[in-house]
Amino acid sequence: MAETVVEIEVYGIWDEDPAASSCGCGGGGCGCATPAQTMGEMFESLRTSLDASDIKERCSLRFIDIIKDSDAQVNQARKMVETGYSLPLTALNGTWSFYGGMSSDLFLTKIREILNGEKEQAGEAR
């Protein structure tokens, strides 16, 4: 059985700081009080953390600029921003999972949950 890869898609504006304050990372550990980074810098920090992790081979990471790119998912991201969600928005395997910031620790935890959940499902099918 082939190993599952978690697709991580970060939607934002590369050279801009995230919209102020409303962090959607679950209320802790997002680092919202730290000095502002651009969304591109946040993305690169996430990439560095993933590259140093034991799950790097099981992740696909890409940044989608909502100003430069356009498709159905980008249009959905734009609508979410219009309704109050803050950039960057992150989808894991096509499911919106985070908004307003990027916490490498929270991302890695969530990705491991996805990977472990699929292991458990495969074990149950036996």
Q: Does residue 1 form part of some domain?
A: no
pLDDT tens-digit series, residues 54-112: 999 999 999 999 999 998 999 999 999 999 999 999 999 999 999 999 999 999 999 99
Question: Given a cut of 80, is residue 1 above it in pLDDT?
Answer: no
| Residues of the domain holding 93 | 6-125
Q: Does residue 108 form part of some domain?
A: yes
- Whether the CB-CB separation of 26 and 102 falls below 8 Å is answered with no
* Structural domain total, the chain: 1
Q: Cis peptide leading into 88, omega within 30 of 0?
A: yes
Q: Does residue 26 form part of some domain?
A: yes
Q: Does residue 61 form part of some domain?
A: yes
Q: What confidence category does residue 4 fall into, taking pLDDT thresholds of 50, 70 and 90?
A: confident
CATH number at residue 90: 3.40.30.30
Instruction: Tell me if the pTM is above 0.85.
Output: no
Residue 31 and residue 23: Cα distance in Å, rounded?
A: 9
Q: Does residue 12 form part of some domain?
A: yes
Q: Does residue 47 form part of some domain?
A: yes
pLDDT tens-digit series, residues 17-61: 986 434 445 434 455 555 689 999 999 999 999 999 999 999 999
